[in-house]
C-alpha cells in the first residue's frame, strides 16, 4: 500500500487492513483506494493484477435543510415558535449557542433529532423584519462546521386591526354581573386566531367566541311603498350587520331575538367583528377585573393584520335589586348605551341592562317590577329583580318605543318590517299575564330602522328618532300615538267609563309636531303634550281629553311632565332652554333654572312631586349630556347627580 495521506496501517485480524489518517479527511473530497499487483497471501501466492478501484467521497459541511418560518415569510404571528432543521445530527450545545435573532431576542432552545426549536422569551414585535442567523460555530456530531453563516429573514404580522371599543369600558364601575366582556374591532375577526388571546384577572371560566353586533340597518336604496318618512331627521343608513340575542340578563331561549347569529368558537357569522368572552356564571359582585388582549393574537379574517395589545379594567356592582326609589337613565359609561339606575342622591350607580348594542328607549312599570326596552329593533322585557329577559319581537320584525300598560299585561310597540323597512304602525303586544296574540292599533307611525347606528344619547332637538311620543292613560284603557305624518291620535285599548268604545276606535286629536312625549294627568283626566294644533298652526301645551277634545294649557316650548298631584313642568317658552313649573294646568308658571351655560331637557317629577329630575346639555354641544340633575320645585337644592346620562325616570 502506498498512501498520498500521512497515516498508519494496522491489522484488526489476518484479513483486515486498517489505514488511519494522521489528520481528518478533507470535506467534499473523492478518494480512490487500490491494491497494486504483487501483494501476497500467507501461502506466498502473489496477485498478478491490481485490485478494482474503491472510491468514496467525504461528506460536505452541515447545511440548513428547513426553517420555520420559511425564508421570506410574512405575516408571522407574534407568538410564533421558530425552528431550524439541519441535514444531520448536530452538536446540540455548540449549535444552539451559534444561533441569534435580530432584533435581539432571548431564545430558549430545545432539540428533537436534527431540529432545533427556539421559543422567544417575549412576543415578537409587530410589523418587523427579523434575521435568524446560524453562525459558523454550528457543528455536526463529527465536528464539521458550517462553511459560512446561514441566514433567513421573515416579517411579523402588521398590527392594523383597529380596536374600536372595549366592553365594559375601561375604568367603568357598577357593571352588571351578567355583562359580556369583549372588544369591537374595525373589521371581521379570524375565529381561528382567538384562542388564548384574553387574560382575565381574577381568573374566571367561560367561552371565547366571535360575534356580530346587533343591528337594524335601513334597506338600501329608496324606501318601499308604505314606508313612512323620518320626521325627526334620523339616520339614513348604517352598517349591514345582523342582530344577536341579548347577552345580558337571563334570556328565555324560546323567545330569543330574531334573526340571530349566536357566537360560535369556529367559523363565526359573516362580518363577525366582536370578540366576546361569556363567563360561565355571574361575575363576582363589587370586584375589579383586569383584561389583557395579547398583542397580535387576534387576526383579521383573510388578512395579514392583527390587533394591537390592550389592557383595561372595570368594577362590577352588586347583585340585581328592586328598582323602587331609584332613578333610571340611559348611559354609555359601560361602553354601550344601556339602562342604569342610581339612588336619588346620585350614589350607587349600577348597570341594569347588559347589551352590546345601544338601548334606544325604555319604559318601566310603576312598581319597578318590569323594564321594557328596545335594542337594534328588538323589544325585550326584563323582570326585576331577577333580571330574567324575554324578547317580545318576532322574527323578521323590528320594534321600537315600548310603552308598558300600567298593570304590566301588555306593551305598545312601533313596528317595521326588518328587511324592507315597511312601516307597520303601532301594535299592542300581550306579556305574561296578558291574553291574545297582539293587535295593530294604527297602521303607520313606527320609528325608523337604523337605531343601532344612530345618535341615541341625547337628541339635539326635543325628541329623537327613537324616543316615543306615545303614552298610556292611568287606567291602561287609552293610548296616544303618533302617525307617520306626525299627527297624533287616541286609540281606545279597552272600553271604560271615560273611554268611549268600541275597543280599537281611533280618535283624531287635531295635533301634530309633538315636542316631547305625552304625559297622563289623572287630575285633569287627559294627556298633556306640547304640540301644534293643525287647524290654525298654534303651538303650545294641550290637554287631550278621552273624546279627542282639546284644552290649552300653560305655554311650554317642549317636554311636558305631570306629577300625581297635577303639577306641571316642562321647558319654558319664555326662557328657552330652562325649566319651568306650575302647581297645575291653570296655575302660573315659575322659572326654576337660569344658568346661561346650560340647556335643560327631559324633566320628570320625583315620586313626591316635590322635586324634578332632568338632563342638562351645553349650548355648544347640544347632543352631549352634561349630566342628570335634580331641583326642588321651589327652585332650591339644585344638584348634579351624574356627569352623563339621558332619559331619566324617578321611580317611587
Q: Is the pLDDT of residue 230 over 50?
A: no
The CA-CA-CA angle for residues 54, 58, 59, to 5°, reads 140
Length of the chain in residues, anyone? 652
Nearest to 274 by CA among 312, 241, 313: 241
Phi, psi (degrees; rounded to nearest 5) at 97: -70, -15
Nearest to 601 by CA among 589, 617, 585: 617
pLDDT of residue 434: 52
pLDDT of residue 2: 66
More confidently predicted of 265 and 500: 500
Q: Which pairs with CB-CB distance under 8 Å and at least 24 residues apart come from 55-58?
A: 55/30, 55/31, 56/30, 56/31, 57/28, 57/29, 57/30, 57/31, 58/25, 58/26, 58/27, 58/28, 58/29, 58/31
Q: What is the pairing mode between strands 107-112 and 115-120? A: antiparallel
Contact status, residue 233 vs residue 465, Cβ threshold 8 Å? yes
More confidently predicted of 228 and 432: 432
User: pTM for this one?
Assistant: 0.78
pLDDT tens for each residue of 29-55: 888 888 888 888 888 888 888 888 889
pLDDT of residue 458: 67
**Domains parsed from the chain with CATH numbers:** 7-57 (no CATH), 64-155 (2.60.40.1220)
pLDDT tens for each residue of 319-348: 888 888 999 999 999 999 999 999 999 999
pLDDT of residue 293: 93
Q: Is the pLDDT of residue 477 over 50?
A: yes
Residues 505-519, mean pLDDT to the nearest whole number: 95
Nearest to 407 by CA among 434, 381, 383, 382: 434
Q: Is the pLDDT of residue 252 over 50?
A: no
pLDDT of residue 479: 97
Distance from C-alpha of 343 to C-alpha of 363, rounded to nearest angstrom: 18
Cell of 178: 351578567
More confidently predicted of 253 and 316: 316
Res. 6 pLDDT band, cuts 50 70 90: confident
Contact status, residue 533 vs residue 514, Cβ threshold 8 Å? no
Distance from C-alpha of 321 to C-alpha of 385, rounded to nearest angstrom: 5
Amino acid at each position: 500500500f502506498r498512501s498520498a495521506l500521512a497515516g498508519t496501517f494496522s491489522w484488526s485480524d489476518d484479513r483486515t487492513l486498517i489505514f488511519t489518517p494522521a489528520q481528518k479527511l478533507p470535506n467534499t473530497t473523492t478518494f480512490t483506494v487500490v491494491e497494486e499487483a504483487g501483494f501476497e497471501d500467507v501461502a506466498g501466492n502473489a496477485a498478478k493484477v491490481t485490485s478494482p478501484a474503491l472510491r468514496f467521497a467525504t461528506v460536505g459541511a452541515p447545511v440548513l435543510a428547513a426553517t420555520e418560518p420559511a425564508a421570506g415569510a410574512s405575516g408571522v404571528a407574534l407568538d410564533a415558535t421558530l425552528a431550524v432543521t439541519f441535514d444531520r445530527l448536530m452538536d446540540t450545545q455548540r449549535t444552539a449557542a451559534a444561533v441569534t435573532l435580530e432584533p435581539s431576542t432571548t431564545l430558549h432552545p430545545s432539540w428533537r433529532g436534527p431540529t432545533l426549536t427556539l421559543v422567544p422569551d417575549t412576543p415578537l414585535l409587530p410589523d418587523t423584519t427579523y434575521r435568524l442567523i446560524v453562525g459558523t460555530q454550528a457543528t455536526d456530531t463529527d465536528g464539521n462546521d458550517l462553511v459560512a453563516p446561514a441566514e433567513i429573514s421573515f416579517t411579523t404580522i402588521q398590527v392594523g386591526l383597529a380596536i374600536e371599543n372595549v366592553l365594559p369600558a375601561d375604568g367603568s364601575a357598577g357593571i352588571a354581573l351578567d355583562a359580556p366582556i369583549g372588544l369591537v374591532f374595525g373589521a371581521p375577526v379570524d375565529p381561528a386566531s382567538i384562542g388564548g388571546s384574553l387574560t382575565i384577572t381574577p381568573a374566571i371560566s367561560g367561552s371565547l367566541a366571535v360575534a356580530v353586533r346587533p343591528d337594524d340597518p335601513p334597506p338600501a336604496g329608496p324606501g318601499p311603498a308604505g314606508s313612512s318618512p323620518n320626521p325627526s331627521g334620523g339616520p339614513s343608513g348604517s352598517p349591514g350587520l345582523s342582530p344577536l340575542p341579548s347577552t345580558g340578563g337571563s334570556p328565555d331561549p324560546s323567545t330569543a331575538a330574531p334573526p340571530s347569529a349566536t357566537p360560535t368558537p369556529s367559523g363565526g357569522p359573516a362580518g363577525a367583528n366582536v370578540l366576546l368572552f361569556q363567563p360561565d356564571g355571574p361575575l363576582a359582585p363589587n370586584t375589579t377585573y383586569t383584561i389583557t388582549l395579547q398583542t397580535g393574537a387576534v387576526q383579521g379574517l383573510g388578512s395579514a393584520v392583527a390587533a394591537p395589545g390592550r389592557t383595561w379594567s372595570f368594577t362590577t356592582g352588586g347583585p340585581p335589586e328592586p328598582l323602587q326609589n331609584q332613578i333610571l337613565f340611559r348611559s354609555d359609561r359601560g361602553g354601550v348605551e344601556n339602562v342604569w339606575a342610581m339612588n336619588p342622591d346620585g350614589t350607587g350607580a349600577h348597570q341594569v341592562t347588559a347589551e352590546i348594542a345601544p338601548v334606544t328607549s325604555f319604559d318601566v312599570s310603576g312598581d319597578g317590577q318590569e323594564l321594557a326596552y328596545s335594542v337594534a329593533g328588538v323589544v325585550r322585557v326584563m323582570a326585576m329583580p331577577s333580571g330574567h329577559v324575554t324578547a317580545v319581537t318576532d322574527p323578521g320584525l323590528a320594534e321600537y318605543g315600548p310603552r308598558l300598560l300600567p298593570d304590566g299585561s301588555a306593551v305598545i310597540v312601533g313596528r317595521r318590517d326588518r328587511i324592507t323597512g315597511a312601516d307597520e304602525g303601532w301594535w299592542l303586544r300581550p306579556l305574561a299575564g296578558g291574553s291574545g296574540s297582539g293587535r295593530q292599533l294604527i297602521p303607520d307611525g313606527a320609528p325608523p330602522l337604523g337605531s343601532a347606528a344612530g345618535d341615541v344619547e341625547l337628541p339635539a332637538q326635543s325628541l329623537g328618532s327613537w324616543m316615543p311620543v306615545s303614552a298610556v292613560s292611568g287606567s291602561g284603557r287609552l293610548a296616544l300615538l303618533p302617525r307617520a305624518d306626525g299627527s297624533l291620535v287616541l286609540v281606545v285599548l279597552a272600553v271604560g267609563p271615560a273611554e268611549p268604545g268600541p275597543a280599537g276606535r281611533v280618535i283624531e286629536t287635531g295635533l301634530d309636531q309633538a315636542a316631547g312625549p305625552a304625559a297622563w294627568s289623572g287630575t285633569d283626566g287627559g294627556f298633556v303634550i306640547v304640540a301644534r294644533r293643525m287647524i290654525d298652526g298654534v303651538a303650545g301645551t294641550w290637554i287631550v281629553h278621552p273624546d279627542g277634545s282639546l284644552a290649552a294649557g300653560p305655554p311650554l316650548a317642549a317636554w311636558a311632565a305631570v306629577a300625581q298631584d297635577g303639577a306641571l313642568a316642562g321647558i319654558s317658552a319664555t326662557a328657552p332652554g330652562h325649566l319651568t313649573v306650575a302647581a297645575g294646568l291653570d296655575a302660573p308658571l315659575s322659572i326654576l333654572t337660569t344658568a346661561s351655560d346650560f340647556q335643560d331637557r327631559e324633566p320628570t317629577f320625583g315620586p313626591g312631586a316635590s322635586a324634578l329630575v332632568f338632563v342638562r346639555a351645553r349650548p355648544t354641544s347640544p347632543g352631549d349630556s352634561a349630566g342628570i340633575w335634580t331641583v326642588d320645585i321651589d327652585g332650591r337644592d339644585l344638584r348634579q347627580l351624574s356627569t352623563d346620562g339621558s332619559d331619566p325616570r324617578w321611580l317611587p
